[in-house]
Amino acid sequence: MSEPPERTEGELAETFLAATDSVAALQPGLSTLEAGVLAALHLDLAHDSRSFARVFGIEHALVLRAVETLASEAGLLTLRERNARTQRTRYGVSPAGDAVLAQLHG
């Protein structure tokens, strides 16, 4: 059995944007950045705040704020670890977040 072909950068960008739009539609109270954090987690693109900030060219402080909102207010993420010096925050999907992401295709 052969492995599926690797996605091009353009295809991956389209997939990410579609997943972000889908998350935003499923959870209308989320900002686009918050929906993007969940989409990136779903697509295995980033599992921590620094990686997300670097990959998507967004200030780390903004990503931290989005992650905190997703964990505390929305209850869609669980915080796993935070580096005291760099503030890099590792996160995962909570059961509520998993229920949202289970509705996505791809």
pLDDT for 5 equals 54
Q: List the one residue out of 26, 28, 32 whose CA is nearest residue 105.
A: 26
What's the burial of 65, exposed, middle or buried (CB within 10 Å: 0-12/13-18/19+)? Answer: middle
Task: Round to whole Å and give the CA distance between 33 and 58.
Answer: 9
Per-residue pLDDT reduced to its tens digit, 58-78: 999 999 999 999 999 999 999
Structure tokens at 46: 């980033």
Please name the fold of domain 10-101.
Arc Repressor Mutant, subunit A (1.10.10)
Domain residue limits, the chain: 10-101
Q: What is the mean pLDDT of residues 96-105?
A: 91
Length of the chain: 106
- Taking the model in full, what pTM does it have? 0.88
